Amino acid sequence: MTRRRLGIWTATLLFAAVSAVVGCRLADTDGVTPVPQFLAFLPWLLAPAAAGLALALLTRWWPGTIWAAVVLGLLAWFLAPAPYGKGTEPDGRVIASLEVLTSNVEFGRATDALVAAVREERPDVVFVQECEYGCAATLRRSLAEHYPYRRSVEGAGSTGSVVLSRFPLRPAAGIQDSTMGMPGAVADVRGHAVRLQLAHPMPPLPGQLNVWRRELGRLRGFAASVDGTPTVLAGDFNASQDHAAFRAILDTGLRDAARLAGSGRTPTWPARTAPAIGAQIDHVLVSADFSASDARFLDLADTDHRALLVEVTLHESPAVPAR
């Protein structure tokens, strides 16, 4: 009887912890610490839920098996691939195709690896986060010939950010009053204006959730303000598709290029355990006048993030986004 009681209590604790996170996902809220941190790893909650189910079955705790079925069913629902669907792709003529790379170089440590990757892949636009002074200088020295246009926020540690482009850039207001630099620009892509915005809000650290929400809210405000202008919003969002604050950005009509290309849950962080275990918190979001045909994840040395390289195509007239 003691063993059975221990098994039931253990299963109860597992179900309670998983249910708190799943409940917040269902209620479209990010909750309080530690829920936002666990939401990033929602797929991996299948493991404790399955362990709880095994204990419920072994102890013949039938209410627990029902609880497990509900929790596992909700997890399966949230984790099921959800393509945007037919009819949501732009149907206008193709104006231009471009490759976009985003990379968090972790305090500049992966700068050399990024330079090598950029030289090999030759993307058209590069978004770089945590590019401190040395990183910014190296990118200017090593890549200026092929990327003569740049917008940056200079800073030490994690605060510096750079946008590099083969296309001419003109200044645009970035995200103001942010903890880390989020520069913006307007690119002239073969005669068509495309709004570029780098994303790098604060991570959801305990005690910093208000800052995280506020800065993701500013990114949502930017996304809502572009008003039909072709837009690319890319970077380290410190949020996955299971965070309500990130989904609020998508509610403006921007779409996740990796998801469009069929790679919506491929982890980008932490690089040491990805792709086996991790979360996709690095994203390239595009407006409805873009389609995406390919998404690749690059492993760079000396950073805890994988770089994301996507090929996107700009069409003449936007489609109505799926909601």
Distance CA 297, CA 61 (A): 44
User: Regarding predicted confidence, which is higher, 87 or 219?
Assistant: 219
pLDDT at residue 16, as a whole number: 96
pLDDT at residue 81, as a whole number: 78
Distance CA 290, CA 229 (A): 11
Is residue 318 predicted with pLDDT exceeding 70?
Answer: no
Is residue 223 predicted with pLDDT exceeding 60?
Answer: yes
pLDDT at residue 228, as a whole number: 85
Distance CA 118, CA 125 (A): 10
pLDDT at residue 91, as a whole number: 80
**pLDDT category of residue 278 using cuts at 50, 70 and 90:** very high
pLDDT at residue 71, as a whole number: 97
Is residue 1 predicted with pLDDT exceeding 80?
Answer: no
Hey, what CATH class is 94-315 in? alpha beta
pLDDT at residue 84, as a whole number: 63
Is residue 274 predicted with pLDDT exceeding 50?
Answer: yes
- The CB density around residue 76, as the number of other CB atoms within 10 Å, is 10
Strands 184-189 and 192-199 turn out to be antiparallel
pLDDT at residue 295, as a whole number: 96
Is residue 299 predicted with pLDDT exceeding 90?
Answer: yes
pLDDT at residue 239, as a whole number: 98
Share of the chain above pLDDT 90, in %: 89
pLDDT at residue 276, as a whole number: 86
- Measured CA distances, 64 to 13, 42, 54, 55, 60 (Å): 11, 21, 10, 9, 9
Is residue 3 predicted with pLDDT exceeding 70?
Answer: yes
What DSSP line would sit under 279-309, residue for residue?
Answer: B--EEEEE-TTEEEEEEEEE--TT-SS-EEE
Is residue 86 predicted with pLDDT exceeding 90?
Answer: no
Q: Taken in order 157, 163, 164, 168, is the CA torsion positive or negative?
A: negative
pLDDT tens column, 101-154: 999 999 999 999 999 999 999 999 999 999 999 999 999 999 999 999 999 999
pLDDT at residue 317, as a whole number: 66
pLDDT tens column, 13-64: 999 999 999 999 999 999 999 999 999 999 999 999 999 999 999 999 999 9
Is residue 277 predicted with pLDDT exceeding 70?
Answer: yes
Averaged pLDDT score across all residues of the chain: 94
On whether the CB atoms of residues 215 and 175 are closer than 8 A, the answer is yes
pLDDT tens column, 171-182: 999 999 999 999
Ranges of CATH 3.60.10.10 domains, the chain: 94-315
